[in-house]
Structure 1
Amino acid sequence: MQRRDCLRTLALLAMATALPGLVSAGQEAAMHRVRDLRRGTWLSSDALLAELARAPSVIVGERHDNPHHHRLERWLIAQLAARGVLGGVVLEMLDREQQAFFEGVPGVLLADLPDSELRGLLDWQRGWDWAAYGPLVRQAFQLGVPLRAGNLPREAIHALAMANQAPALPERVARAQRQAIVEGHCGLLPETMLEGMLAAQVARDRAMAAALALLPATAVLVCGSGHARRDIGVALHAGSAPVCLGLVELAPGQDWSSALPESVDAGPPFDLAWFTPPAIRHEDPCAALRQRFASP
């Protein structure tokens, strides 16, 4: 084995040994624990990883501004790689046009580029915090696994939104998606834009499912928590049976079941839920939207 490969292996083992906050299954508190919502049991770290390693793909749903979630994602990817089952990584934060900029370039040649060069090569979008996702991009390149764009280009999303045509969906799914879109826009989205936003959301779900289908097991998709829901998200459009893992914020003293979104069917919204502390938010996330929709 060459020296570079030895160093990469040592780095991988270092990442894989540090478990970021998962407590023992014997503790009563839900914080930092993983719940199997299908079976009604709590999972140890070993049981969690065994479950994920058997899956053709894993959809990990995050709150985009929560650093606890970003650390957990990197840990999960390192663990699957250490077990030799990581088939690749799909990111909602990359779109198909960006994919062309690094397609076919060995990841080891990209992993050590300075931040400014790597961001430029990827045409990284300012809407996604590089401090949060840059380490995840580098990790995929360092591990030598395929990195795939999960999102549609901005122009395609804009065109779908402007066409304002509702996609074909079961009514219960469409209703839940509309509600999530309205809540995600702080109740400020004009009703005339709702069907177009729904069409764009569903098209993005389908694009992420298609990107996952191009990778061998076990592929990992990192996306927003709404996309990761089994009842309304990417899983509806996936050909295989992904495991949907929601990273769920849990406030101090909050009952874990109340932190979960309400499912639109008899099943749970996620297969597995990993409860984490909420992010510390110093700014009103709705302030920018209020300013945007107030502008003439």
Structure 2
Amino acid sequence: MTHAFRLILAICALWGGMACGQAVTPADLPATAPADIVIIGELHDNPLHHLTQAELVARWSPAALVFEMLTPAQAAASVGRDRQDAVAMADALAWGGTGWPDYSLYHPIFAASGAAQIYGAALDRSDVRRAMTQGAAAVFGAEAAGFGLDMPLPVAEQSAREADQMAAHCDALPPEMLPGMVAAQRLRDAAFARTALEALAETGGPVVVITGSGHADKQRGIPAALAKAAPQASLFSIGQTESDPGVDAPYDAWIISDPTPREDPCAAFAKP
């Protein structure tokens, strides 16, 4: 274990799970998975982030891989396929037309996955839309309280999350949509956490979760839902960014990469 990684663990222990950690490189991370469940964030269109995820998956040989990008049906369809064969995997997963970046960006992760059991955590889009009007708890079901969905967010936190949703959508959303967007995000984080716990129970772990860095947020994302539902499970969250997220970044560790070229994401919202 490197000095940098020991420092991360010491800071996290001192602050009792609050935002802690520091910027690291993959080489700073340990030879074995640092927790029962490790969440590795990404910016979806950055190839470097997927190569880092693949490197860590190969190093840690998890018993299970949970993908934000896959439904349970897609994950089941991949069973028995040659994970080294990009064409066969893309076909089995019906990746085309899903709206995610090209499968080639994600293939290194699948190719590095060895014998890990693959889980899909994605919800049906109709359920996500329903959460926007009915609330996350109503859609999640009987386990909602266990994941903290039965309680409204504190006013300040609700306002902060609505502001983040507005900024993420280029200040183009009608304000009345914002509470629903927050509810949908809470539903998805809880659903991803539930699938990670299912994978841990069925395989014994370790479990690696592949998801966006927003979902890896310890204060709001999957780790927060896991801490509520299964405080006995050890967790470690890695964010991947393209700029310094600052000392209060809500991850146990974060990796800063070069930015990938992309068009202005707000161009689609520009009025003619």
Normalised to the residue count of structure 1, the TM-score between the two structures is 0.70
Structure 1: distance between partners of 2:85 and 2:94: 14
Which residue, 84, 99, 104 being the options, matches 1:131?
104
Structure 1: distance between partners of 2:153 and 2:196: 23
8 Å Cα contact 1:35/1:43 also seen in 2: no
In structure 2, the residue matched to 1:275 is 256
1:210 and 2:194 matched: yes
Structure 1: distance between partners of 2:22 and 2:86: 44
How far is 1:219 from its partner?
0.8
Higher relative contact order (CA 8 A, sep 6+): 2
Q: Give the SS at the match of 1:225.
A: coil
2:49 aligned partner, one-letter code: H
Give per-residue Cα distances to partners, 1:55-111, cap 9 Å, x unaligned. Answer: 111111111111111110000001102xxxx12111111123433434xx33xx332
Give per-residue Cα distances to partners, 1:18-40, cap 9 Å, x unaligned. Answer: xxxxxx989xxxxxx99837376
In structure 2, the residue matched to 1:110 is 82
| 5+ residue gaps, structure 1 | 1-23, 27-32, 251-255
How far is 1:128 from its partner?
0.8
Larger mean Cα displacement after TM superposition, 177-186 or 117-126: 117-126
1:241 aligned partner, one-letter code: S
How far is 1:213 from its partner?
0.8
How far is 1:290 from its partner?
3.6
Structure 1: distance between partners of 2:153 and 2:46: 32
Structure 1: distance between partners of 2:108 and 2:23: 29
| 5+ residue gaps, structure 2 | 13-19, 138-148
Structure 1: distance between partners of 2:93 and 2:100: 12
1:170 and 2:150 matched: no
1:185 and 2:208 matched: no
In structure 2, the residue matched to 1:160 is 131
Structure 1: distance between partners of 2:7 and 2:99: 31
1:150 and 2:143 matched: no
Larger radius of gyration: 1
- In the alignment of these two chains, the number of paired residues is 238
Structure 2: distance between partners of 1:196 and 1:165: 9
Alpha carbons of 1:42 and 1:100: their partners in 2 closer, same or farther (altered >3 Å)?
A: closer
Alpha carbons of 1:189 and 1:41: their partners in 2 closer, same or farther (altered >3 Å)?
A: closer
Identity of aligned residues (%): 29
Normalised to the residue count of structure 2, the TM-score between the two structures is 0.75
1:269 aligned partner, one-letter code: P
